[in-house]
Amino acid sequence: MPASNNSIRVLVTGASGYVGSHCVQQLLAGGYNVRGTVRSLKNKEKVQPLRNLRYAQERLELVEADLLEPNSWPR
């Protein structure tokens, strides 16, 4: 196990959902870098609580993705 988790990036799909947001919060608190998927970055009601999490400025990257649409994922 690494001495520091800051070199590890974890993907959380559905980051703005109830379970996903709690996972993001715990991962950030644990020192991990987090990439979270959301349906729309324009939906401030869903995105802003994630951006307000402690350490989010430094270690959270949010990306827009529709997991049901294959063309939304870059190849």
Q: What is the pTM (predicted TM-score) of this model? A: 0.86
pLDDT exceeds 60 at position 3: no
pLDDT tens digits along 26-60: 999 999 999 999 999 999 999 999 999 999 999 99
Name all contacts of 1-8 with Cβ < 8 Å and 24+ positions apart. 4/31, 5/30, 5/31, 5/32, 6/31, 6/32, 6/33, 6/59, 7/33, 8/32, 8/33
Is residue 1 very low, low, confident or very high in pLDDT (cuts 50, 70, 90)? Answer: very low
What three-state secondary structure class fits 23? helix
> In the chain, count of helices (H) and strands (E)?
3, 3
Beta bridge partners of 10: 34
